[in-house]
Amino acid sequence: MHRIIVWLRNDLRVHDNSALNWAINKGIKGTTKQIIPVYTFDPRFMRNKVEKYGIYKCGLTRARFLQESVQNLRANLQDLGSQLLVTQELPEVFLPKLILKGQQNSIVFSQEVCYEEARIEQSVATEIKRNSKVHIERVWGSTIHHIDDLQMDPENVASSVYTKFRQNTERDIVRDCLPTSKLGQLPFIEGDVPKAIQDAMRFAPSLMDLGFSEEEANTPKDPRSSLEFVGGEDAGLERVKYYLWETKMIQKYKDTRNALMGADFSSKLSPWMACGNLSPRYVYWETKKFEQRFKENDSTRHFISELFWRDFCHWYAYCHGNGIFYEYGPLDKKGVPQWRVDQSVIQRWRQGLTGMPLVDALMREMNQSGFMSNRGRQIVASYFSLDLKQDWRYGAHHFEEKLIDHDVHSNYASWNMIAGIGPGKTNLFNVVKQSYDFDADGEFIRTWVPELRNVPTDYIHEPWKMPFKLQQQCETVLGTNYPNPIPSRYTTKPSHQSGGSGLGYVKDY
């Protein structure tokens, strides 16, 4: 008997799944094989606070999406004649219990590269090998390029900027997607099933099981959300089909990607890619098929470039390890502002009460829906770290809690770049100019900041310039109905003009 335990984490799918594929193709000739897929809702990554920052690791919207993703994976595995064991135990505690004594055992999982995840992998390996001889197989499956196919040494990404990375990898081969598992290829346990395994086969944690209150668990999804995200491989594949093949919106991606409102201004595939409902390689090859069937244009090229940006963040984290979480980044760049930790300022930013309408609208959108546009993320992160000069790590941890599409590589690498502690130039975003440029009529602001719904468009971006009498007429009295802005460069100069930041950065957008 050969038992193969497939430990699933950020690869919650049956298509193009390296771990499942390895399990299907490995085994001892003439020996019966069991394949046991497992997912653990690791409490260290759920409703657990990062003590130093007082911020949860995982918020409600992402927990709900993850819960839906696991349920969908279980259903898809059952359709293939398999099962999914689900538990809330630590993987280093639960996985050793599955070792079949006196038999051949293997465990396979997709390799992660960030510090916490790698440390847990090592803990699992240590505990499993403590009392038994088990083959441990790490496979690669979370990037477009396989690690063995990069012509550029991954270690060189450490000092590279994205443009150089892209130039050095665009000619590297991209492997075909692995075959999707078929009925009968994932033999589970036959006959008597131990009670502990039966329990894990049935266990489907509620949001309250995951640490949320009954009130939180019953909170409906916000109807203002740009899209109703539903977790799971099935929903992710449907979104690819819709965005590429049914609407062909990808042909307009470059023109629409900077919008703030609407379901289709961007692909919005990131939540499904973050937890592995979608393989990045599958999305890449579907895009290349689209280009062949219709035509390649600036938008399809730009879309693929964004997929490679995701890869770049992964390799950046791979190179720097724990350094991406350091105060001044892995390069120890001390030329940026000395970070402040003003809890009142941090809390106002987190809650969307800064007095800067666009920032507040964007933060509230993220807090309520779990999503924020890429443009929006750059704006609020730049404002937090470069204008308010607050310790960027508080901002990154808040993103980790609230974003439905959080993945550690993209989040922390992007914050490194925005805060000016990564390689390359630093772009300073002018919040008010961005507001005029991308929400000219104030529709987005009024949607998420209803206190400003009666404010004339002439003042919607800079309400502190509004005469007091008009504030009263609009029922938006600063300091009463809506906060005065946190003191910054925007309240002391004509802020809708580009340039003149005085902070020494490359460009004031």
pLDDT at 69 (0 to 100):
99
Q: How high is the pLDDT of residue 495?
A: 46
Angle between helices 343-351 and 357-369 (to 10 degrees): 70
- Angle at the Cα of 500 (from 429 to 508), degrees rounded to 5? 20
Residue 504 clears pLDDT 70, i.e. is over it: no
| pTM exceeds 0.85 | yes
The architecture of the domain spanning 1-141 is 3-Layer(aba) Sandwich (3.40)
Q: Which residues sit in the known binding site for FAD?
A: 253, 266-270, 303, 405-407
Residue 166: the pLDDT is: 87
Residue 286 phi, psi dihedral angles, 5° rounding: -65, -35
What gap in Å lies between CA 145 and CA 372, rounded to an integer? 27
* pLDDT the model gives residue 29: 66
Contact call for residues 265 and 259 (beta carbons, < 8 A): yes
Nearest to 324 by CA among 183, 179, 113: 113
Residue 501: pLDDT over 60? no
Residue 502's pLDDT band (cuts 50, 70, 90): very low
Question: How is residue 173 written in tokens?
Answer: 């081969």
Residue of 494, 267, 304, 487 lying closest to 383 (CA atoms) = 487
For residue 490, count CB atoms less than 10 angstroms from its CB and return exposed for 0-12, middle for 13-18, buried for 19 or more.
buried
Residue 88 has pLDDT above 50, yes or no: yes
Tell me the C-alpha to C-alpha distance, in Å, between residue 486 and each of 347, 360, 483, 491: 12, 12, 8, 9
Confidence at 233, pLDDT banded by 50, 70, 90: very high
Residue 137 phi/psi, 5-degree rounding, is -120, 120
pLDDT 10s digits, 40-61: 999 999 988 888 899 999 999 9
Mean pLDDT of 426-455: 97
pLDDT at 219 over 50: yes
- Mean residue pLDDT across the chain: 93
pLDDT band of 509, cuts 50, 70, 90: low
pLDDT at residue 140 greater than cutoff 80: yes
Residue 462 has pLDDT above 80, yes or no: yes
Is residue 500 pLDDT above 50, yes or no? no
Model confidence at 155: pLDDT above 80: no
Cβ count within 10 A of residue 248: 12
For 378-386, what is the mean pLDDT?
97
Contacts of 180 (CB under 8 A, 6+ apart): 14, 15, 16
- In order, the DSSP letters of 38-82 are EEE--GGGSS-EETTTTEESS-HHHHHHHHHHHHHHHHHHHHTT-
% of residues, the chain, pLDDT over 90: 82
For 355-367, what is the mean pLDDT?
98
Categorize the per-residue pLDDT at 508 as very low, low, confident or very high, splitting at 50, 70 and 90.
low
Mean pLDDT of 150-171: 80
Residue 499's pLDDT is what? 42
Tell me: pLDDT of 28 over 90: no
What would the mean pLDDT of 7-13 be, rounded to a whole number? 97
Q: What is the pLDDT of residue 464?
A: 97
Share of the chain above pLDDT 70, in %: 95
What pLDDT digit, counting tens, does each position of 285-338 carry?
999 999 999 999 999 999 999 999 999 999 999 999 999 999 999 888 877 778
**What residues does 39 pair with on adjacent strands?**
8, 86
Domain locations along the chain? 1-141, 142-177+233-320, 343-508
- Residue stretches of the annotated binding site: 253, 266-270, 303, 405-407
Cα–Cα dist 313/61, whole Å: 23
- What's the pLDDT tens digit per position in 400-434? 999 999 999 999 999 999 999 998 888 999 999 99
| Cα 484 to Cα 338, 380, 454, 459, 478, distances in angstroms | 25, 17, 17, 14, 5
> Can you name the residues that pair with 49 across neighbouring β-strands?
56
The CATH homologous superfamily for domain 343-508 is DNA Cyclobutane Dipyrimidine Photolyase, subunit A, domain 3 (1.10.579.10)
Q: In this structure, what token pair is assigned to residue 139?
A: 């496979």
Give yes or no for residue 496 having a pLDDT over 70.
Answer: no
Residue 472, pLDDT > 70, answer yes
Please tell me the distance from the alpha carbon of residue 145 to that of residue 476, in angstroms, as a whole number: 52
Q: What CATH class does 142-177+233-320 carry?
A: mainly alpha
Average pLDDT over residues 29-46: 90
Of residues 177, 149, 172, 426, the one with CA closest to residue 279 = 177
Strands 55-56 and 49-50: antiparallel
Q: Is the pLDDT of residue 157 over 90?
A: no
Distance, first Cα to last Cα, the chain: 63
Amino acid in the structure at residue 399: F
Range from 24-33, 142-151, 325-334, 340-349 carrying the lowest mean pLDDT: 24-33
Q: What's the whole-number mean pLDDT along residues 122-141?
A: 92
Query: What is the reported pLDDT for 152?
Result: 80
What pLDDT shows up at residue 429? Answer: 95
Kindly state the average pLDDT of the residues 361-374.
98
- Residues 129-158: what's their mean pLDDT? 86
Helices 374-382 and 431-438, packing angle to 10 deg:
160
> pLDDT value at position 208?
95
pLDDT of residue 399: 98
